[in-house]
């Protein structure tokens, strides 16, 4: 039996999310089915992040245990062959020790949130950015984001149905920058609450529009009340960029 670490890229648009569910196709189910067709073995593919419906990934990490002997290139290429035509690609496969766990061994997760702030709607990027039909002030958004760094009670930025035991999290990075015609939020932490990054994006959009200022974001954080922060931004602008391990 070999445990394989997989780095995976996918378009989340067609899926109900990462986790296998009864109400539609999931990324996890597609991967498990592809592994089965390759190995004829029932398996469980466990991911580092349970991305929601519509959320994309450049570098999701998962692991799976396979008995069939094969080298890393064969595992990668065989799974990719059986994934077709789903918009999921295994970028790499690496044999790891059985102590490795894609979710519980992770020490850092990096997300990107993309906002297209222009009047015309996107054509090529539809479903991959949040379209906001007005210019936003990226510098003001970045300045207002900085009080969120560090260890806080993030109740104001967690989904009401979040199942985490505690709202306490340590946010290591939240940079807002303009990249061409888009605004990007680069967000890093060891772990996140449900909808935390999307709630950051929805709140900071209010700052970018001039409706809120930095002190409003600080007040929302201090309130520890979901109703005190901004709306939840759409899923299609969010990407799981990478997962770090020590």
d(CA 223, CA 156): 7
Residue 52 falls in the annotated catalytic set: yes
- Considering the candidates 52, 137, 165, 172, report the single residue annotated as catalytic: 52
d(CA 30, CA 165): 29
Contact 190, 108 (CB under 8 A): yes
The residues, any chain, with a CB within 8 Å of residue 129's CB and separated by 6 or more, are: 114, 115, 116, 122, 182, 236, 237
Q: Which residues are catalytic?
A: 52
């Amino acid at each position: 039996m070999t445990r394989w670490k997989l780095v995976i890229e996918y378009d989340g648009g067609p899926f109900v999310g990462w986790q296998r569910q009864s109400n539609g196709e999931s990324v996890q189910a597609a991967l498990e089915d592809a592994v089965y067709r390759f190995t004829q073995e029932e398996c469980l593919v466990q991911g580092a992040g349970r991305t929601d419906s519509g959320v994309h990934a450049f570098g999701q990490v998962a692991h799976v245990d396979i008995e069939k002997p094969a080298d890393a290139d064969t595992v990668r290429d065989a799974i990719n062959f059986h994934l077709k035509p789903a918009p999921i690609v295994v970028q790499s496969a690496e044999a790891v020790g059985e102590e490795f766990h894609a979710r519980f061994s992770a020490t850092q997760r990096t997300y990107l949130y993309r906002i297209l702030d222009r009047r015309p709607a996107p054509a090529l990027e539809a479903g991959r950015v949040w379209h906001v039909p007005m210019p936003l002030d990226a510098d003001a958004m970045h300045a207002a984001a900085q009080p969120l760094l560090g260890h806080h009670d993030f109740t104001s930025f967690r989904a009401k149905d979040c199942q985490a035991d505690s709202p306490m999290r340590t946010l290591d990075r939240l940079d807002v920058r303009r990249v061409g015609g888009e605004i990007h939020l680069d967000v890093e932490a060891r772990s996140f609450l449900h909808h935390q990054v999307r709630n950051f994006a929805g709140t900071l959009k209010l700052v970018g529009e001039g409706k809120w200022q930095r002190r409003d974001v600080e007040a929302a954080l201090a309130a520890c009340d979901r109703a005190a922060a901004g709306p939840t931004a759409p899923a299609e602008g969010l990407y799981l960029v990478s997962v770090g391990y020590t």
